A and B are shown apart, each in its own frame.
Chain A
Amino acid sequence: QQQVKQSPQSLIVQKGGIPIINCAYENTAFDYFPWYQQFPGKGPALLIAIRPDVSEKKEGRFTISFNKSAKQFSLHIMDSQPGDSATYFCAAAQTGANNLFFGTGTRLTVIP
């Protein structure tokens, strides 16, 4: 059973566009929601993370929006660049537990 559902599977945007990747979860015990960026042949790198006590978090061009009542969160990339082309994974975890549950990934392509 997929603990975290992610969409879309792939996304193509023009340079400067704002791609949005969405994730949803069921387990209300989750209280930590990171996003990872993975380039081909590399391991995932932590991009940004949010906890349920805030509805939005920004770090540079990356913004997470969090809707606790809907159990959804999303990643927005402002002024996207070709160098942002990668696969993005959302994830969820519970304080005190061990596992990090990953979404299925979104392959982003930013066209110059």
Chain B
Amino acid sequence: GAVVSQHPSWVICKSGTSVKIECRSLDFQATTMFWYRQFPKQSLMLMATSNEGSKATYEQGVEKDKFLINHASLTLSTLTVTSAHPEDSSFYICSARVLQGGDQPQHFGDGTRLSIL
């Protein structure tokens, strides 16, 4: 149980393109979903937290207009990287949590590798 599916797994696109990444909880309803960014050989950096039906909470230094997050249902959250540039190239990972509380397990997707040419 607790499977999180992320799509696409890999995307290459030209600079200036907007890219949408989907995160789905397949066998549970996620009250909260998280979006992380991971650079090679580095740790996961939290970008934003989203709760179904409300606006996402962004971490300091993350541009809200650059990284649009929509959490329209209890099983789907999307991250749109708008007008992507080469510096946005990274590994983006989502996670989902069933219950509220920092001590509840987060279940991670397999990530999306974004390469901007």
Q: Which positions in A face B, CB cutoff 8 Å? A: 31-32, 34, 36, 41-46, 49, 51, 89, 93-100, 102-105, 107
Contact = CB atoms under 8 A, between A and B. Distances in A.
Q: B interface, by DSSP: helix, strand, loop or mixed?
A: strand
Q: Which of A51, A98, A99, A102 gathers most chain B CB within 10 Å? A: A98
A104 B43 CA distance: 5
Interface in B4-52: 4, 6, 32, 34, 41-44, 46, 49
B102 A93 contact: yes
Interface string B82-117: 000000000001010000011101111111010000
Contacts of A46: 105-107
Contacts of B4: 43
24 contacts: A31-B103, A32-B102, A34-B105, A36-B108, A41-B110, A43-B6, A43-B95, A43-B110, A45-B108, A49-B105, A89-B44, A93-B102, A93-B103, A95-B101, A95-B102, A96-B102, A97-B101, A98-B32, A98-B102, A99-B102, A100-B102, A100-B106, A104-B42, A104-B43
A103 B102 contact: no
Contacts of B105: 34, 46, 49
Interface size class, chain B: 20 to 34
Given A42-B110, A43-B93, A102-B44, 13 more contacts: A32-B102, A41-B113, A43-B6, A45-B108, A93-B103, A95-B102, A95-B103, A97-B101, A99-B102, A100-B102, A104-B43, A105-B41, A105-B42
Nearest to B102: A93
A95 B41 CA distance: 29
A31 B102 CA distance: 9
| CB-CB nearest 8 A-B residue pairs | A93-B102, A43-B108, A32-B103, A97-B102, A95-B103, A43-B110, A102-B43, A94-B102
